[in-house]
Amino acid sequence: MRFVATLAFVWVTNCFTQWVATANDCRVAYGNVTDPEKYPYVVHMFLNNGTHFDMCTGSLISRSVVLTAGHCLKQPSNRSKYYWSHNVILFKKMKGLKTTVHETILASDEVFIREDEGSARHFLKHDFDEIGYSDIGLIVLKEPAPICTQNKDRNYSIARLPIANIYADKWKPLVKKLEECTAIGYGETERGIGDGILRELRNVIIEERGNALFSPLKFKGRVCQGDSGGPVVCSMGHDKPYAVGIISYSDWGIQGQGYPKCYSDVRIHQFFPHHVSAFANL
């Protein structure tokens, strides 16, 4: 839905979690509750829209930069710069069976957005024959996450990005088959509003069509509110998974009817590493 030692980047596509539709609503459901420290780079985001906080998921890609969906960071035209001044990034962990907030870091007003509004719907309705759309966002933390310091209370890391050689002058994506993919997010559940618990949906099928990634789920697959910006991680033939996608868009449907889910593929954005490096000042 950015990388060098201090800068990890997620080639983004999308993730879904299973859902139950009631009336005109959809809910992420039936995913497995998971310990946030299993994915120590995944963060829970509360983003100030001027009147209330919207909820998204994101991935830490450096000590001070979070990658998420562009639409999560899109500023309403009638809002001032103040809109960005009270965004909250939560790092969570489990204590017993309960998920708790371990650390809270405020985000600065520095954001980078690449979003082509409406193109996802157009892409899905035209048999994948258009170029893939963009829905990518970066936000800078006001203080770095404690990745490089010893921390016995919680594990921290940056997302592993599918870059062939992070030391090369020009980054190129690692091109391998996407296998054993898992979607991760803090979104809504079958019970309604999000409960602040991280969930994973394993063995998600991710396919490439044209310049976009999508999931051809036929039954209860659905991207829902709060999961936006969360990563889809795939093994790609390695022991440790790569973050290859970002949860982005899913069209509405009726109960029991599935639609393809479209995701922005960061691998086609060659500008991205340079923008990220300059943006993060790393």
Per-residue pLDDT at 260: 54
Per-residue pLDDT of the chain in tens (282 residues, 90 and over written 9): 332 322 333 333 333 333 333 333 333 445 788 999 999 999 999 988 777 788 999 999 889 999 998 888 876 655 545 455 679 999 999 988 899 999 999 998 778 777 665 554 544 455 544 455 578 888 999 999 998 776 778 999 999 888 887 777 777 887 788 888 888 999 876 666 678 999 988 888 787 766 667 776 554 555 567 888 999 898 887 778 888 888 887 655 444 445 556 666 666 655 455 555 555 554
Per-residue pLDDT at 106: 93
Q: Are 131 and 211 in contact (CB under 8 A)?
A: yes
Measured distance CA(46)–CA(166) in Å, rounded:
31
Residue with the two structure tokens 């966002």: 137
Residue with the two structure tokens 């009270």: 86
CA-wise closest residue to 198 among 162, 167, 233: 233
| Rg of the chain in Å (alpha carbons) | 17
Per-residue pLDDT at 274: 54
Per-residue pLDDT at 145: 92
Per-residue pLDDT at 272: 55
The one-character DSSP state at 270 is T
Per-residue pLDDT at 84: 53
Per-residue pLDDT at 223: 58
Per-residue pLDDT at 261: 63
Measured distance CA(228)–CA(67) in Å, rounded:
11
Q: Is 118 left (phi over 0), alpha (psi -120 to 50) or beta?
A: left
Q: For residue 102, how far is the Cα from the chain centroid?
A: 20
Which helix (H) or strand (E) is 280 found in, with range? helix 272-280
Q: Where are the domains of the chain?
A: 17-280
SS3 (DSSP) at 250: strand
**CATH superfamily assigned to domain 17-280:** Trypsin-like serine proteases (2.40.10.10)
Taking only the tens place, the pLDDT of each residue in 198-242 is 998 888 878 776 666 777 655 455 556 788 899 989 888 777 888
Per-residue pLDDT at 195: 85
Per-residue pLDDT at 194: 73
Per-residue pLDDT at 250: 64
Per-residue pLDDT at 116: 63
